[in-house]
Structure 1
Amino acid sequence: MSSFPRQSPPSPQRQDAFFSLDRERQRQPVNSKYLLQLVYSYAPDWVLTVVVAGLFFLFDKIDGFKREFSLNDTSLQHSFAVKERITDTSLVLICTLAPIILIAIINLISIRSWWDLHVGWLGLILSLGITGSITNVIKVTVGRPRPDVIDRCQPIAGAMNNAVFGLVNATICTQTDSSKLNDGFRSFPSGHSSLSFAGLGFLFFYLAGKLHLFDKRGHTLKAWIAPIPLVGAALVAISRTMDYRHHWHDVLIGGLLGFILSWFSYRQYFPPLSDRLSHHPYSPRIKRLRAPLMPYHHGDASSPHEYSSTNDRIELHRQDALKQQEPISLTDMWREGEEQEILPPGQEPSRPLLGDERV
């Protein structure tokens, strides 16, 4: 039976030592060869992300499918809003430019890491690119009429629903602006909703990771600050129903789509929010070409730490070496866990046999 050393939670002193070591590691100089390999390693990611984002504009040029509708459907008889509350330009500023700037600011006041900034921006663009492309594919495929489609259509005089099926199609429209008419059949899902939650949703995950939102300590202030980007995304989504550009179903599904894909993109480069190192991204694919930066531990757990570091190593000095604990087998670990479940409160479980004590 394989055996493992008994693990115990790290003390606050050892946690502080780890984070000090990690900060010192980030200050290490990076040689040009390693940097060049790193650029080549992530160049395909950027190229693919830009291509995926470009598909958003490509699908936007497709006429798409146009569903039949009823002229008597009151949900489609809303007036066309000439002036939108959130224009396309405003959406770009809200879901793209604002997160880019805020990620840089958060990085500056937290860990100050170029690598973290790089994967933060890469994950953001990936989230927006995937969300935008999927949204437009669904739009041109479903072809659901918008709430203002009849006003856009401008039906011919005397137009009536089909006597048999009670529906009409886009052939009765007199609208000469083809782009305006085509856009009238792209209600599902809401692009403003999906993109706002893709951009601001990613910002939420990035901010929550830096704040250690789920560190099981229950800080109310962090619970108020972290969801602010989601509130902004929700307001953008709600504005689409106020302008009668979308039905509430379109907004709901679009928001869920953007939020899920923002989480998917965030997890490509960052650990879960419940992780102790949620404020740090995953390590680069290319390992550094240098000696390993592993600390040497000396002394007892209560002794103070002293640090001395160079460009090649970091040593954590103590008076004496820490004694490694005895390993126990998986069977003993399970038996001990079962005893803890059935023993009365306050009673200690029996110690598993170690080494020569086993017969």
Structure 2
Amino acid sequence: MDRVKLLWSKTNRWHRVILILLIVELRLLPSRQLGFYCNDPALSHPFTGDTISWKWLLATVVFLPLVVLLIVERVYNKDDAGRSKEQALCWYKEYMYGVLINLMVVQLLKILVGEPRPDFFDTCNPQEAGTCTGSEYVSSYTCLKTHWLSQSDKSFPSGHTSLALHTGFFIAYYLHQRTKRLVRSRAILCAQVLSIVSAVYCAISRITDHRHHWWDVLAGAALGVPILFYTVASLCKNFDCPNPGKEESSHEKPGTATVTVCDT
């Protein structure tokens, strides 16, 4: 036990979150499996695919904020490209840490709850569904479609919703904070609206695709809010992270936003 404590003390926050996420993803923790009622219409929807796939979602979550941060910091701090890049990467690092926390919590809850998806009968094809009758409750089952074994009972909460809202509202609020002392252009306002609308669209698509129940989407949104607040308010210091070792230039050009590099 002392050795474990010693090893743990030598890790940083990134190591710990990634370690827990790996434990969850490798299914090293005991998982729960909720049963189902025979012929439950809520679980009888056909699988029609994902409007927004996991690959597309993760690509957006990982790369879009980085592009936005680099562009905005460069535009509003034209005199010091190196420093604007440093600031953008600083906030991006904190954003990604928040994403890892979000993903870790979502995946952990999926394992602990084990709720069947709305397309459960189609994607799992449980062996027991062929013999049960009426409104009989089946407490344990075996999926005949083995390639869906690890996904058909991971409905709660919606990871798409949680990550999409985390990213969309992060970008919208970042643009608000970094440009609030300037005259906002239509491009900025459009980018904010597009970020939020896209996140909401992703959440709604999880219901219309019958990949999640409505309460799964609501739970995903509820999880994303406090994690996003922690990311913005605590990790990114509300996008105002002064480093005592770096003084701001006293000769700023009019219309140039103040850039302060956070202390990492």
CA distance, structure 2, for counterparts of residue 188 and residue 127 of structure 1: 20
Alignment of 1:215-234 (within 5 A): 225-234=191-200
Q: CA deviation at 1:248?
A: 1.2
Match in the other structure for 1:76: 43
CA distance, structure 2, for counterparts of residue 159 and residue 72 of structure 1: 11
Structure with the greater alpha carbon radius of gyration? 1
2:46 maps to a residue whose letter is S
CA distance, structure 2, for counterparts of residue 218 and residue 102 of structure 1: 18
1:151 is aligned, of 101, 122, 125, to 122
Q: CA deviation at 1:155?
A: 3.4
CA distance, structure 2, for counterparts of residue 80 and residue 134 of structure 1: 26
1:253 is aligned to 2:219: yes
1:288 maps to a residue whose letter is G
Deviations 1:269-317 (Å, cap 9, x if unpaired)? 4454xxxxxxx52123xx428xx8898xxxxxxxxxxx7xxxxxxxxxx
2:164 is aligned, of 196, 212, 226, to 196
Relative distance call for 1:293 and 1:77 in structure 2 (3 A) is: closer
CA distance, structure 2, for counterparts of residue 139 and residue 69 of structure 1: 16
1:67 is aligned, of 11, 27, 34, to 34
Match in the other structure for 2:261: none
2:138 maps to a residue whose letter is V
1:56 is aligned to 2:34: no
Alignment of 1:38-49 (within 5 A): 48-49=13-14
Where structure 1 has 5 or more consecutive residues not aligned to the other structure, the ranges are: 1-43, 273-279, 296-306, 308-359
1:199 maps to a residue whose letter is T
CA distance, structure 1, for counterparts of residue 191 and residue 223 of structure 2: 23
1:124 is aligned to 2:81: no
Relative contact order, higher structure (CA 8 A, sep 6+):
2
Q: CA deviation at 1:239?
A: 1.8
What secondary structure sits across from 1:197 in the alignment?
helix
CA distance, structure 2, for counterparts of residue 155 and residue 188 of structure 1: 19
Q: In 1, are the aligned partners of 2:61 and 2:167 still within 8 Å (CA)?
A: yes
Q: CA deviation at 1:97?
A: 1.1
Match in the other structure for 1:283: 242
Question: Which is worse superposed, 230-239 or 109-118?
Answer: 109-118
Q: CA RMSD in A?
A: 3.2
1:175 is aligned, of 133, 144, 147, to 144
TM-score between both structures, scaled by the size of structure 2:
0.76
Deviations 1:198-219 (Å, cap 9, x if unpaired)? 222222221111122xx7x997
Deviations 1:63-94 (Å, cap 9, x if unpaired)? 7211011123211001123x322122111111
Number of positions where the alignment pairs a residue of Structure 1 with one of Structure 2: 234
Q: CA deviation at 1:255?
A: 2.1
Deviations 1:161-197 (Å, cap 9, x if unpaired)? 588xx311342x35141x5123111101101111112
Alignment of 1:16-35 (within 5 A): none
Match in the other structure for 2:154: 186
Report the identity percentage: 24
Where structure 2 has 5 or more consecutive residues not aligned to the other structure, the ranges are: 1-8, 252-264
1:237 is aligned, of 177, 188, 203, to 203
1:86 is aligned to 2:52: yes
CA distance, structure 1, for counterparts of residue 174 and residue 75 of structure 2: 13
